[in-house]
Amino acid sequence: MNIIILSGGSGKRLWPLSNEIRSKQFIQLFKDKNGEYESMVQRVYRQISRVDAGAGITIATSKSQVSAIHNQLGDKVSVCVEPCRRDTFPAVVLAGTYLHDQLGVGRDECIVICPVDPYVSDEYYEAVKKLEELVNQGKTNMTLMGIEPSYPSEKYGYIIPETAETVSAVRAFQEKPDTETAQKYIGQGALWNTGIFACKLGYLLDKAHSMIDFTDYRDLVDKYASLDKISFDYAVVEKETSIQVMRFSGDWKDVGTWNMMTDVMSDPAKGNAILDETCKNTNVVNELDIPILCMGCKNMVVAASCDGILVSDKVRSGYMKPYVERLSDEARFAEKSWGTYKVIDGQPGSMTIKVTLRAGNQMKYHSHEHRDETWTVVEGLGRVIVDGVEETVRPGDMIRLPAGCKHTLIADTDMNVIEVQVGEEITQADKQVFA
């Protein structure tokens, strides 16, 4: 089974834990069988691998998320990187071309496109695996998986099947309706359309070439920024006449908002937090180094990170996006392939950051033209290279890095470093990377 996991999106609805760099799928609020916290993308990757150990899994994502993916899943995971965001049709075409041209997946092999964000049991991916069997039967060009609705939702589009059988031809697609109309669709046996598609890779490639003028993967990457922004649903699925849907009636939850996320969190509180005995249906996630005390809170979510603090009624939290858009979008926390960084203080002309490197990793060799930096090692052993000169460092050591010098840090053990940046211009763009 070849699965393309769509891992895009920005971090508005789970603010302040999510941001433009760390989307909701990277927040670690679930627990694995060993009791260790894991994120949505880690959970999905683990579930697919457990259901089908031989599955080829490729994650289609934006450049800003690549470091977080490698941080959480390792360097060997297959990642197809969008040069820029162009909606799901270009993303799926790029990923399909990547599978064929870069990974050698044959045109006759089945591919399944799945979103990264449902909270499901392994039964869901057992059903996804059955899509491959249906595609290989060759009765239709495309096979979808529709979710049996648990309520008349206004958030999802609907698939209207011809029959009530487990697998049926598709009669029609309907856009996101109001509640009353959604109830009518459900009365007709409609299913939620949650973006799960399966087809032969050759079918996808032929569709792509009929709609986009490109030769191969490299050519498509070069032309990517010029592609129209359009969803895979609009561009392909809703225009396909040879199409069927498989009904899935198992547990399925969309965890796109805090109200829904708190329903599936492993613990009512994560981090340094205390809830008194009068709190009811309240969840707290605290990533700060200061305690949070909640007393008498009812039906609330409290989330705190270096990007901000949210205190909200759970239902009301689903309407936070326009308010978050008023706030600064400068991310103050990010996962990198080598570890994490967290802004702990920002002033005009200076910024202080806590840098955490995992053992065996190193930063890219780079320089800054408009700022000086000072590193202070507070934990762990490692090595710094400054303008080609390597030196061993340990707790208490201070390294001065004037503007223009090339530098990197290599962690021999897990390391924590305080980085102080000083300059008239402190931006993420002020960075030149060297091989």
Over its length of 435 residues, how does the chain's per-residue pLDDT go in tens digits? 899 999 976 667 899 998 777 788 999 999 988 999 999 999 999 999 999 999 999 999 988 889 889 999 998 999 999 999 889 999 999 999 999 999 999 999 999 999 998 899 999 999 999 999 999 999 999 999 999 998 998 888 999 999 999 999 999 999 988 999 999 999 999 999 999 999 999 999 999 999 999 999 999 999 999 999 999 999 999 999 999 999 999 989 888 889 989 999 989 999 999 999 999 999 999 999 899 999 999 999 999 998 899 999 999 998 998 998 888 667 788 888 899 999 999 889 999 999 999 999 999 999 999 999 999 999 999 999 999 999 999 999 999 999 999 999 999 999 999 999 999 888 888 999 997
Structural domain boundaries, residue 411? 338-434
In a domain, 53, yes or no: yes
- 214 with 234, same domain: the answer is yes
How confident is the model at residue 10, as a pLDDT? Answer: 62
The reported pLDDT for the residue numbered 329 is 65
The pLDDT, as a whole number, for residue 126 is: 95
- ∠ CA 146-150-152, nearest 5°, is 90
Query: Count of CB atoms within 10 A of residue 402's CB?
Result: 14
Asked whether residue 407 is assigned to any structural domain, the reply reads yes
Residue 345 located in a structural domain: yes
CATH number of the domain encompassing residue 393: 2.60.120.10
* 402 and 300 share one domain: no
Specify if 194 maps to a domain: yes
**Coil, strand or helix: which one is 95?**
helix
For residue 90, cis peptide bond before it (omega within 30 degrees of 0) = no
Same domain, 50 and 86: yes
Distance CA 152, CA 137 (A): 33
CATH number at residue 143: 3.90.550.10
Q: Are 242 and 274 members of one domain?
A: no
Q: Could you give the number of structural domains in the chain?
A: 3
Same domain, yes or no, for 142 and 281?
Answer: no
Which pairs count as long-range contacts for 237-243, CB under 8 Å and 24+ apart, including other chains?
Answer: 237/142, 237/144, 237/173, 237/197, 238/173, 240/141, 240/142, 242/140, 242/141, 242/142, 243/140, 243/141, 243/142, 243/143, 243/144, 243/169, 243/170
Residues 70 and 174 in one domain: yes
Residue 333 lies in a domain: no
325 found inside a domain: no
Same structural domain, 218 and 307:
no
Residue 22 confidence (pLDDT)? 79
Do 270 and 250 lie in one domain? The reply is no
Do 244 and 272 lie in one domain? The reply is no
- Note the pLDDT of residue 82: 94
Torsion angle, alpha carbons of 357, 360, 363, 365, to 10: 160
Backbone angles phi, psi at 223, to 5 degrees: -95, 0
Q: Which residues in 292-349 belong to E strands, given as ranges?
A: 292-294, 300-305, 308-313, 333-336, 339-347
Residues 247 and 278 in one domain: no
Question: Tokens 């045109």 belong to which residue?
Answer: 107
Q: Is residue 214 part of a domain?
A: yes
Q: Residue 77 domain-assigned? A: yes
